[in-house]
Amino acid sequence: MKYLITIVGPTAIGKTALSIALAQHFKSEIISCDSRQFFKEMTIGTAVPNQEELQAATHHFIQNKSIFENYTVGDYEKEALLKIEELFQNNDFAILIGGSGLYVDAILKGFDEFPEIDPAIRSEVNTNYEKLGINYLQQQLQHLDPDYFHKITLENSQTLQNPQRMMRFVEVCIGTQKPYSSFLNQKKNNRNFTPILIGLEADRQIIYDRINQRVDIMMQQGLLEEAKALYPNKALNALQTVGYRELFSYFDEDFSLPFAIEEIKKNTRRFSKRQLTWFKRNEATKWFDYATPKSEVISFIESKI
C-alpha cells in the first residue's frame, strides 16, 4: 500500500515545519502544492521554504517554473502524479503539502473531462473580456450557470476575479450550450495511493496574528524590492496574487506604502478564511491544533497505516 500524507490548512499555520518532520520520520520527500511557490521569480512574497528547510528534506515543485510560462493546474496534475509515482518506487510514503485547494484536489481526485471548445468562441470571449473587463465574465457566468456562480461566490470568491478561469467557465457554457457545472463530478479518477489528510488550524485571532507577523517579516526581508523588480510584468497571471498586487498599487501611486502593507495583511487574512472553508469541505481530513506535538500527528498517521 502506498500512502500520500497530505497536509493542508491556512497560510502561516506551520505546514512547512510539519511536512519536514513527517518527511524525516517516514524517510520520504515533499511535493509542494502551492500554486505561487512554483515560480522562481517570486521568493519572499510566496514564503517559499528557506535554504535550511529545503536542505532538511527533499522538496519538489518549489520555484521550478517561470512567471513567463503558461503553467496550468492541469499541467501540475500530470507532472506531480508522475513525480509521486516515481517516489513510490522506492518508498511507501510521500508528503503533499499546500494551501492551494484546487491543486490539492487535482492530485487527490483529478479533474473532470470537458469537450473541446471551438477556438473562435475562445477568441470571442477573450476579446469581449479585453473590451468590457471582468464584470462581463461575471455577468455571463451568472446568466449561463447561476448555480455554479453562486457556489464559487460562497466558497471561493477570489475565483470571480481570475480572468483565466472565468473565461474558461464562460467559453464552456457558450461552446457546449450547457452549464459548466454539468461537466463536474462525472467520473471518479483512480489513484494508486491512499491519502491520509492532515489539517492544521488555530483560533482565528492566532491565525491573524501569525499572518500579520509574517507580512512584517516579508517586508523586512525585502518584499518591496522583489515586487518592484516584478512590477513591469504586473499583468502576468502569476502575479495576480496577494502581496504583490497591493505593492503594485503603491507603485501606481494609488496606495501609500503603510496602506498597501495593511491591505496585504487584510487580504491574506481573507484568503486564509477561504482556504479553511475549502479544506473543511473534506470530511476525511483529521484536524489538529497548530501547536499539537508533531509526535502526536505521527502517531495518528501510523494508526492509519
Residues within the annotated binding site for substrate?
A: 11-16
Contact residues for 80 (Cβ-Cβ < 8 A; gap 6+): 31, 33, 60, 61, 106, 107
First to last CA, the chain: 9
Amino acid at 137: L
Helices 146-155 and 257-280 meet at what angle, rounded to 10? 110
Cβ of 204: how many Cβ atoms within 10 Å?
13
Grid cell for residue 247: 505593492
What's the rounded Cα separation, in Å, for the pair 157 and 163? Answer: 13
Element (H, E) at 175: helix 163-176
Residue 125 sits at the vertex; the CA angle it makes with 128 and 167, to the nearest 5 degrees, is 115
What's the rounded Cα separation, in Å, for the pair 84 and 98? Answer: 15
The CA R_g of the chain, rounded to the nearest whole Å, is 20
Pair 159, 180: CB distance under 8 Å: no
Cα–Cα distances (Å) from 280 to 194, 277, 285, in that order, read: 19, 5, 8
Give the three-state DSSP class for 43. Answer: coil
- Known binding residues are 9-16
Pair 92, 25: CB distance under 8 Å: no
- Known binding residues for ATP are 9-16
Grid cell for residue 50: 528557506
Cα–Cα distances (Å) from 126 to 66, 236, 267, in that order, read: 23, 15, 27
